[in-house]
Amino acid sequence: MSYRIIEKLPNVKGIIAATPMSDEGYANILKHREEIKSILRGDDKRLICVVGPCSAWPDTAVLEYARRLVLLNQKVSKNIKIVMRAYIQKPRTIKGWTGPVNQPDPLSPPNIAEGIRYARGLMVKINEIGLPIADEALFTHNA
């Protein structure tokens, strides 16, 4: 078996350092995880509603959507736990654009390194706004 490195991907520490998250952001993650666990166990009687775009692109529209969800969440949070769908890939797409993690600009060539930076930055911003995030981890065609 042989292989060839075309482009080296950024390492995890470098990605995190380039787009850090605040202490409040980390606290948000822990709070949302505990609330969702409580709902799934049945201890919290709210419903979970995962809502959001098919793909988390473009970032300006996604962040506007997140800000609107925060306002909606203030109205429904006693009965519903809103989780924002922020999918960064389109794993079932066989032809065409496969999502911002692979190609952050669908009109430019694929660039996974830049897509990783895009996805991290976007998810940090959504989390800092105060919303939990749902994403998929499927790699059906990313050989």
For residue 118, the enclosing domain spans 46-134
Give domain status of residue 84, yes or no.
Answer: yes
Look at the block and give the residue holding tokens 């509603």: 49
Q: pLDDT digit string (tens) for 57-74?
A: 999 999 999 999 999 999
Give domain status of residue 72, yes or no.
Answer: yes
Give domain status of residue 120, yes or no.
Answer: yes
* Measured distance CA(106)–CA(138) in Å, rounded: 20
This prediction has a pTM of: 0.88
Q: Is the pLDDT of residue 1 over 80?
A: no
User: For all residues of the chain together, what is the average pLDDT?
Assistant: 91
Higher pLDDT, 96 or 115: 115
How many helices (H) and strands (E) the chain has is answered by 4, 3
**pLDDT band at residue 142 using 50, 70 and 90 as cut-offs:** low
Give domain status of residue 33, yes or no.
Answer: no
Give domain status of residue 2, yes or no.
Answer: no
Give domain status of residue 98, yes or no.
Answer: yes
Give me the pLDDT at residue 143, please. 47
Give the bridge partners for 47, in sequence order.
80
Strands 47-51 and 133-134: unpaired
Number of folded domains in the chain?
A: 1
